[in-house]
C-alpha cells in the first residue's frame, strides 16, 4: 500500500531526501548543545576566566543559529515535498477516475470519490509531512540523547532503555483499539457526504415540499453518529498524553533522587550538578520526542484508512478498456443490437435489458418511448460503451463497439442526457466542449439548429455570457437547447437525445427536429421522449416496457396496430386540445 502511495512523490523525491538530511544536521547540533553547556558549567565551577566563557558562548550562539538554519530550511523543503506529493496524489486519483466506467463510479459513489480526493488525501499529506521530518527527527533525537545521557550518567541512563519498550507497548494497544473505529468513521463520512450531495442537488424539491426540517434532522443524526465515533476514538487517543506526562515526571523524580544521591555519596567525583542537569536535559528530550513519536502514530493511524481507500481507487481497473488493436474509424451511423441483455451488477437477480434485437440504418431517425423504468436510457448507454452488454453484441458501423478505440467511438456518438449539465464559464466555452476548434460561425450555426441562437443573442454579452455552475442562471429549456447545440458541434455520426427537449414547447421542439432533417440527414438520430409528438415523424418508433422491446413501427402503423400507443396518443392530443381551448378563453 505504501509503495503505491509513494509513487506520487515523483519529482519531489529530492525535496524529501533533502528534508531528512537537514533534519539529521539539526538533530546532531541539538544533541551537542547540552553537552557543551555541561562542559561550560564544569569549567566555570573550576574557576575559568572570561575568555573561556566568551569562547564557548560564541560557539553556542553559532550552533544555535546553525540549528535554526537547518530547521527552517527543513521546514521549507518539507512543505514543498508534502504539498507537491498531495498535488500529485490528487492528480493521480482524478486521472484514474476519468478513466472509470459508469460501473466503477456506481461502485464507489460520487460522494465517496470526492471524500477520497479531499479529506483522505489531506490526511495522507499530513502523515507524509510528519514522516519525512518529525519521524526522522524524533527517533534520532531519542538515540543521540540516550547515547549522550549514557556518556554523562553511565548506568543511570538505562532507565530510558526500560521506558521506551514500556511506552511502545501501550501505544500499540491504543492503536490496535483505535484503528477499527477510524475505519467505521470513514464509511459513515461517505454516507453523510452522499446525503449532503443529494440534498444540495435536490434543493428545489426539498423547498417545494417544505422538507427542510426533515433534512436538517437527517443530517444532524448522521453528523452526531460520526461525532460519537470520532469522540470515542479521540478519548482513547487522549490516553497517550497523560501516559507520557506520567512517565516524564516519574523519570525526573528518579533521575533527581538517584542522581543527587550519587553526587553526595561520591562527593562529586563520579557525577556533579552539571552532569545531573545535562542528564535531565537529555531525559526531557527523550520523553518529548517519544511524545512526538506517539503523535506521529496517531496521525499515521488516522491516515492509514485514508491510504487504503485511496489505493482502492488507484488499484481499480476500469471495466471498460480499449482492445489490443482498436479500430480507429467509424464507417457510418448504423446501429445493431443482437440479442442484447444487460444488468448493472453481475450479482443482480434481474436484467435491466432482456434479449434486445434492433437494427437501425445509418441516417435513420428512431423514437424510443416507454414508461418510467422501461430502461430506455440504459439501452442508449450501451452504444457509446458507457456500459458494456452483459450478453449479446452491440454494433456501430457494422462492428462490435468493443472493437473500437473508446475515444474514436465516443467522438462519433453525441449524447444529450436527460440530466443536462453546463459547466461554469462562458456560453462559448461550454459549446466548445463539442469541438474545441469550432469557429464562431460553426457555433452560431449549431445554435440555430438547436433554436438557441435567438435567446443567446438577447443576452448583453451574447456568447460571452457567463454560465454559473450547473447552468443555474439559465432556464431548463435554454439549458437543453445549449446542450443540443454542444452535441451538434461534434458533427457525430449518431445523435442521441434522451428526453432532452422535455423543457421546450412543442413548436420549438418541432423546429429542432426540422433542422435535424434538413442539415444532418446522414446522422443517425435516436430520440427518447415522453411526448409522442416529439417522435411522431420518426422513421420508426420503438416501444419499451420492463427492459424489453414490445413493439416497433411508424407512427401510423402503431396507431393502427398498438392499443397502448393509440391510447397514449389520444390522451396527449386531448390534453393538448384542452390546453389550447383554455388559452382561447
For every residue of 383-431, DSSP letters joined together read TTTSS--SEEEEEETTEEGGGB-HHHHHHTEEEE-SS----SEEHHHHH
Residue 580 has a pLDDT of: 52
Residue 159 vs residue 500, higher pLDDT: 500
- At 360, which helix (H) or strand (E)? strand 353-360
Q: What is the pLDDT of residues 483-510, one digit of tens each?
A: 999 998 988 999 999 888 777 888 888 8
Residue 189 has a pLDDT of: 72
Residue 268 has a pLDDT of: 63
Residue 311 has a pLDDT of: 93
Rg (CA), the chain: 36
Q: What is the pLDDT of residues 521-567, one digit of tens each?
A: 899 999 998 888 889 889 999 999 999 999 999 999 999 988 888 88
Residue 579 has a pLDDT of: 55
Confidence of residue 394 (pLDDT cuts 50, 70, 90): very high
**Are the C-beta atoms of residues 34 and 278 closer than 8 Å to each other?**
yes
Tally of CB atoms within 10 A around 549? 20
Residue 22 has a pLDDT of: 94
Lowest-pLDDT range of 163-177, 348-362, 407-421, 422-436: 163-177
Q: What is the pLDDT of residues 54-91, one digit of tens each?
A: 888 899 899 999 999 999 999 999 999 999 999 999 99
End-to-end Cα spacing for the chain: 72
Residue 492 vs residue 182, higher pLDDT: 492
Residue 584 has a pLDDT of: 43
**Are the C-beta atoms of residues 367 and 310 closer than 8 Å to each other?**
no
User: Span 330-351, mean pLDDT?
Assistant: 90
Q: Any idea which residue has 436510457 for its cell?
A: 377
Cα–chain center distance at 490: 29
Q: What is the pLDDT of residues 446-472, one digit of tens each?
A: 999 999 999 999 999 999 999 887 777
Grid cell digits, residue 483: 446542450
**Are the C-beta atoms of residues 360 and 335 closer than 8 Å to each other?**
yes
User: Span 317-326, mean pLDDT?
Assistant: 89
**Are the C-beta atoms of residues 63 and 32 closer than 8 Å to each other?**
yes
Nearest to 129 by CA among 182, 70, 75: 75
193 pLDDT above the threshold of 70: yes
585 pLDDT above the threshold of 50: no
Nearest to 458 by CA among 416, 427, 483, 486: 427
Q: Of all residues in the chain, what percent carry a pLDDT higher than 70?
A: 94
Residue 188 vs residue 423, higher pLDDT: 423
Q: Which residues contact 258 (CB under 8 A, 6 or more apart)?
A: 156
Residue 427 has a pLDDT of: 92
Cα–Cα distance measured from residue 320 to residue 322, given in angstroms and rounded to the nearest whole number: 7
Residue 581 has a pLDDT of: 47
Q: Any idea which residue has 499515521 for its cell?
A: 300
Grid cell digits, residue 29: 547540533
201 pLDDT above the threshold of 70: no
Residue 552 has a pLDDT of: 94
Q: What is the pLDDT of residues 245-301, one digit of tens each?
A: 777 777 777 777 777 777 777 776 667 777 777 777 777 777 777 778 777 877 787
Lowest-pLDDT range of 140-144, 161-165, 225-229: 161-165
Amino acid at each position: 500500500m505504501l509503495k503505491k502511495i509513494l509513487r506520487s512523490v515523483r519529482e519531489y523525491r529530492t525535496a524529501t531526501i533533502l528534508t531528512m538530511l537537514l533534519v539529521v544536521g539539526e538533530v546532531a547540533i541539538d544533541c551537542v548543545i547540552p553537552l557543551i553547556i555541561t562542559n561550560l558549567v564544569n569549567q566555570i565551577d573550576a574557576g575559568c576566566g572570561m575568555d573561556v566563557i566568551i569562547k564557548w558562548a560564541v560557539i553556542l550562539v553559532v550552533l544555535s543559529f546553525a540549528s535554526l538554519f537547518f530547521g527552517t530550511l527543513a521546514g521549507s523543503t518539507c512543505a514543498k515535498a508534502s504539498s507537491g506529493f498531495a498535488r500529485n496524489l490528487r492528480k493521480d486519483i482524478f486521472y484514474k477516475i476519468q478513466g472509470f466506467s459508469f460501473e466503477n463510479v456506481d461502485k464507489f459513489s460520487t460522494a465517496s470519490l470526492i471524500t477520497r480526493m479531499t479529506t483522505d488525501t489531506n490526511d495522507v499529506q499530513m502523515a507524509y509531512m510528519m514522516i519525512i521530518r518529525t519521524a526522522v527527527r524524533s527517533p534520532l533525537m531519542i538515540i543521540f540523547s540516550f547515547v549522550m545521557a549514557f556518556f554523562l550518567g553511565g548506568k543511570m541512563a538505562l532507565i530510558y532503555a526500560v521506558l521506551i519498550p514500556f511506552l511502545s507497548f501501550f501505544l500499540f494497544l491504543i492503536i490496535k483499539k483505535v484503528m477499527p473505529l477510524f475505519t467505521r468513521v470513514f464509511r459513515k463520512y461517505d454516507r453523510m457526504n452522499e446525503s449532503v450531495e443529494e440534498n444540495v442537488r435536490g434543493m428545489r424539491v426539498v423547498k417545494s415540499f417544505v422538507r427542510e426540517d426533515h433534512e436538517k434532522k437527517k443530517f444532524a443524526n448522521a453528523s452526531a453518529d460520526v461525532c460519537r465515533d470520532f469522540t470515542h476514538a479521540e478519548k482513547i487517543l487522549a490516553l497517550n498524553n497523560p501516559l507520557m506526562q506520567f512517565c516524564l515526571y516519574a523519570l525526573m523524580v528518579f533521575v533527581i533522587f538517584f542522581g543527587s544521591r550519587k553526587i553526595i555519596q561520591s562527593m562529586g567525583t563520579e557525577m556533579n550538578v552539571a552532569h545531573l542537569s545535562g542528564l535531565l536535559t537529555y531525559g526531557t528530550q527523550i520523553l518529548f520526542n517519544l511524545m512526538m513519536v506517539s503523535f506521529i502514530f496517531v496521525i499515521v493511524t488516522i491516515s492509514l484508512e485514508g491510504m487504503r481507500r485511496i489505493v482502492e481507487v488507484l488499484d481499480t481497473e476500469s471495466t471498460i478498456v480499449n482492445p489490443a488493436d482498436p479500430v480507429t474509424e467509424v464507417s457510418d451511423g448504423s446501429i445493431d443490437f443482437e440479442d442484447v441483455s444487460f444488468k448493472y451488477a453481475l450479482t443482480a437477480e434481474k436484467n435491466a435489458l432482456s434479449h434486445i434485437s434492433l437494427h437501425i440504418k445509418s441516417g435513420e431517425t428512431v423514437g424510443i418511448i416507454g414508461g418510467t423504468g422501461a430502461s430506455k436510457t440504459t439501452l442508449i448507454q450501451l452504444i457509446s460503451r458507457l456500459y458494456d452488454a452483459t450478453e449479446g453484441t452491440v454494433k456501430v458501423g457494422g462492428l462490435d463497439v468493443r472493437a473500437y478505440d473508446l475515444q474514436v467511438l465516443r467522438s462519433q456518438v453525441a449524447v444529450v442526457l436527460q440530466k443536462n449539465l453546463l459547466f461554469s464559464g462562458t456560453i462559448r466555452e461550454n459549446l466548445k466542449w463539442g469541438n474545441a476548434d469550432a469557429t464562431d460561425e460553426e457555433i452560431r450555426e449549431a445554435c440555430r439548429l438547436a433554436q438557441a441562437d435567438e435567446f443567446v443573442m438577447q443576452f448583453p454579452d451574447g456568447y460571452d455570457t457567463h454560465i454559473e455552475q450547473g447552468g443555474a442562471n439559465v432556464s431548463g429549456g435554454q439549458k437543453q437547447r445549449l446542450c443540443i447545440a454542444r452535441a451538434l458541434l461534434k458533427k457525430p455520426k449518431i445523435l442521441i437525445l434522451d428526453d432532452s427537449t422535455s423543457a421546450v414547447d412543442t413548436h420549438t421542439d418541432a423546429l429542432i427536429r426540422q433542422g435535424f432533417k434538413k442539415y444532418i440527414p446522414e446522422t443517425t438520430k435516436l430520440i427518447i421522449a415522453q411526448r409522442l409528438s416529439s417522435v411522431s415523424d420518426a422513421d420508426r418508433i420503438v416501444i419499451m416496457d420492463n427492459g424489453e422491446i414490445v413493439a416497433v413501427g411508424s407512427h401510423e402503423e402503431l396507431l393502427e396496430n398498438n392499443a397502448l400507443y393509440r391510447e397514449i396518443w389520444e390522451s396527449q392530443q386531448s390534453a393538448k386540445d384542452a390546453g389550447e381551448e383554455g388559452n382561447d378563453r
